[in-house]
Chains A and B, each alone.
Chain A
Amino acid sequence: MFLRLLYESFRRQKRRKLLAGVAIMLGVGVATAMIAVATDIGDKISRELRTYGANLIVTPQEDTLDVEIGGVNLKPPSDGAYLNEADLPRIKGMFWRNNIVGFAPMLPVSVNLGDGKNMTLLGTYFSHHVVFGQQDFVTGVRSTHPWWKVQGAWPDDNSRDVLLGAHLAAKLDRTPGQEIEIAGEPRRIAGILSTGGPEDDQIVAPLALAQQILGKPGAVRRIYVSAVTKPEDAFARRDPKSLSPEMYDRWYCSPYAQSIAFQLQEAIPHSHAEQIRQVAQNEGTVLSRIQGLMLLITLAALLASALAVSASMATAVIERRGEVGLMKALGAGNLAVAVLFFAEAALLALLAGAAGFAGGALLAREIGRSIFASQITVQPVLLPVILTIAVLVTFIGSAAAIRRAVKFDPVYALRGDV
């Protein structure tokens, strides 16, 4: 009998049930989408912030002081220690290798353009193929320094072509395709580089060319590493040597800038890795602000969803006073009536909630694709959580209305005088 009542109620009140169902669906959908976006936005914005370039720098351990003003190195080129290029692929063997967006080695050397003036030539990777074990990946300044713009073409890493800084090119009056004599040999200018930084006055060339000019094959002066990191907190600043073994594991396995720097030092022999504070610190603040904002927005979405669901449920229950009166006149107790309504609400919440979850997942994917041009996946773990919330909210929303409906005097309810 109970099941039949339940079934008939859905069959006869199609329009009403559909309306309440749509409200629940919309509410659950919006909540799902917002939760998915909020949990993923840290990662997404973190990748966007990688536009700021590398947040970690690796230098030789016994490095001497840089004597550099405005990007011009005033130190004799033979000075200083070097890292070994052959160690670079090991970066992709680290624990947090998947958080490494890219890295670029740098080797500044002093060159003579034939007019007696010394220029800085910067050797680096543009988009170089690196192989480590099974992995094959492409890295270089094009991923670590995305604000570098080239007019013309990027040189090939295996070629001997160069990029000319925009100011230098204007001063020397060169255009892409022409040749320039560097250290006694003519080189083709593949493109003109504009960065808004000191590189505008420099020549940028493939790393091998800089090494050849310097006469030190395999030498690298410093490595810029761009990694997706977690905002720094008090735990991140702890000295790893002072931590207990469990704490150390937790520290080591968190993608803080500090722990990634620590692992870089382990991966590359005789190196010193440090966060570039201008990038790393500010990234942390911006990220935590945005995450806080998304948390509040998700709460607002949940609040609005809960209200929409409870409002439509309340309306649906109040409309069925007559029915309640009849049931009571036929001898149903308060409990039986309440159970029937709650069962209906639960069924509705489960059905519409599942549909809303699917809709919300689609919505989140669409948001990810159109705004961040990458995937936002909704964790399946979220489904039971969302359904529980949907059922709870529906119960709370209909509780007041059901209590009123149960209290109706059957006589008045049947007469319609309430």
Chain B
Amino acid sequence: MNAPDNSPVARRRTSAPHTSMFLRMLVRAAVLRRGRAAAALLAMVVAAAVATAMLNLYVDVQAKLRHEFRKYGANVVVVARDGQSLPANALATVEAALGSGGGIAVPFAYAVARTSDGRSVVVAGTDFAQVQKLDSTWWSVTGWPKSAHEALVGARAAGVVGGAGNAFDLSFQGRAIRLNPVGTLRTGAAEDSRIYVSLADFTAWTQVPYSTVEISAAGSPQEISAIIQRLGQALPAAEVRAVRQVTEGQANVLGKMRATLLVAAILIILTAAVCVLSTLTGWVSDRRRDFALMKALGASGRMLQSFFAAEAAALGAIGSTVGFMIGVGAAIWIGRANFHAPVSPRLSVLPLVLLGGIVIALIAAIVPISLLRRVQPATILRGE
């Protein structure tokens, strides 16, 4: 060993920093057993991806389903109290109380008019653009009015005034109007017996202001009751109430769906964890000869454990991060395919998945190591 060392290997050995031995062992272990390491990493990635997608869905499903439930139409109604009318700025007040993006508010005005043959029919004035947003799924309409003096006729009212194309006359307190029906409306409820015109036409004709504002408010039940309270304070002359038919059904279904999804998420994550556990256990016990060799060369038990633990932790961290990205992709795809709405990736899920991945990897590594620690290196090296 006194001869001058100038072989490339020796030079590299002396110049290499001492601390890198640990890292080198980590890297070489993965590189030399590419197949097994890749299998373990793959298991980790898939498990993390499935867990991420499930957690993302679990967090997001409330918002997504709530969006679906808003298609049921108004969940809050503001009506004038008996014998009073809503203040002229009621709609603006409601919109201010809802805030931006907080919901849709649609005014409705009602009057009973007479047809030319003397029959009574309810005429409603409203904002057609807003109604289309509020009741998009269940108002089955053949054509929406676009210009003045055009009307939307309910399916049953059409039997009284005639269908699309036949202009008809209505009178209210001596004032007459000629309306041109451009479409029929079918809902299966009270709307079928009404004739709808634009609010501008309606007030010009009857001078009756709107008496009802239907609101589809966004948010959880708590948020909606807060909105109801705000509206009640802003409009003391009006009565504000929740449409219980809509709000209660929603709470019911959402609660059950959330519980089902939680159970599903737990089960699936558990299964994925078992997959990771058995793959990693296999990988570590596969390397018992490395373990025995290191021990025979004088490594302490603690050093060995920290080595395997570091290896497992690195695997867990890399696998979870890659899996997280794939899982977010899957969640986005599910949002598009099933709910036709984008799902925003939840970064808050990342630490959870990362921690879970590392913990499972550590458990998978520690169990076989502590079993092996009791065995003499010689026995393992002999291949028994």
Bound form: Cα–Cα A316–B189 in Å: 65
The residue of chain B having its C-beta at the shortest distance from the C-beta of A41 within the complex is: B260
- Separation of A37 and B53 alpha carbons in the complex (Å): 19
- Given the known interface contacts A48-B252, A308-B275, the answer about A297 and B193 at a Cβ–Cβ threshold of 8 Å is no
Residues of A close to B190: CB separation below 8 A:
66, 68
Whether A277 contacts B274 by the Cβ 8 Å rule is: no
Which residues of chain B are near A312, meaning CB under 8 Å?
Answer: 274-275, 278
Complex Cα spacing A279 to B248, Å:
13
* B68 / chain A contacts, CB cutoff of 8 Å: 282, 285-286, 289
* B249 at the A interface (CB under 8 A): yes
Structural contact, B54 and A293, CB atoms closer than 8 A: no
Interface size class of A (residues with CB under 8 A): 35 or more
**List of B residues within 8 angstroms of A48 by Cβ:** 249, 252-253, 256
- Give Cα distance in the complex from A145 to B252, angstroms: 14
Task: Say yes or no: is B243 at the interface (Cβ < 8 Å to chain A).
Answer: yes
Majority SS at the chain B contact face? helix
Decide: A23 near B275, CB < 8 A? Known: A282-B72, A300-B268.
yes
Q: Scan residues 244-288 of chain A and give those whose CB is less than 8 A from a CB of chain B.
A: 274-282, 285-286
List the A side residues contacting B110 at CB < 8 Å.
69-70
B200 contacts which chain A residues (CB < 8 A)? none
When the two chains form their complex, are residues A45 and B256 in contact, meaning their CB atoms are under 8 A apart?
yes
Q: CB distance B245 to A197 under 8 Å?
A: yes
- Asked whether, in the complex, the Cβ of B193 is within 8 Å of the Cβ of A367, the reply is no
In the complex, which residues of chain A have a beta carbon less than 8 angstroms from the beta carbon of B137?
281-282, 285
Segment from B39-47, B90-98, B142-150, B345-353 that makes contact with A: B39-47
Given contacts A196-B243, A301-B271, contact A289 B188 (CB under 8 A): no
B29 contacts A by Cβ under 8 Å: no
Could you say which residues of chain A place their CB within 8 Å of the CB of B120?
65, 67, 74-75
Q: Report the contact-size class of chain B (Cβ under 8 Å from the partner).
A: 35 or more
Chain A window 145-166, contacts with chain B (Cβ cutoff 8 Å), 1 for yes, 0 for no: 1110000000000000000000
- Of B188, B242, B334, most buried by chain A (CB within 10 Å of CB) is B188
What residues on A are CB-neighbors of B268 within 8 Å? 30, 34, 297, 300-301, 304
Nearest Cβ in chain A — how far from B122, in angstroms? 6
Identify which of A26, A49, A70, A367 contacts B263 (C-beta below 8 A): A367
Please pick, from B139, B241, B253, B338, the residue contacting A277 in the complex, using a CB distance under 8 A: B139
Is A123 an interface position by the 8 A CB rule? no
A325 to B12, CA, bound (A): 40
B186 and A65 contact, CB distance less than 8 A: no
Chain B residue numbers with a CB within 8 Å of A74 are 112, 120
Q: Contact string, B177-199, partner A, CB cutoff 8 A, digits 1/0?
A: 00000000011111001000000
Among A50-58, A95-103, A106-114, the one that faces the other chain is A50-58
Would you list the 8 A-B pairs with minimal beta carbon distance, nearest first? Answer: A315-B282, A196-B244, A416-B383, A308-B275, A51-B249, A277-B138, A312-B278, A52-B249
Binding site for B on A (CB under 8 A): 19-20, 22-23, 26-27, 30, 33-34, 37, 41, 44-45, 48-49, 51-53, 57, 63, 65-70, 74-75, 145-147, 195-197, 200, 274-282, 285-286, 289-290, 292-294, 296-297, 300-301, 303-305, 307-308, 311-312, 314-315, 318-319, 322, 363, 367, 370-372, 415-416
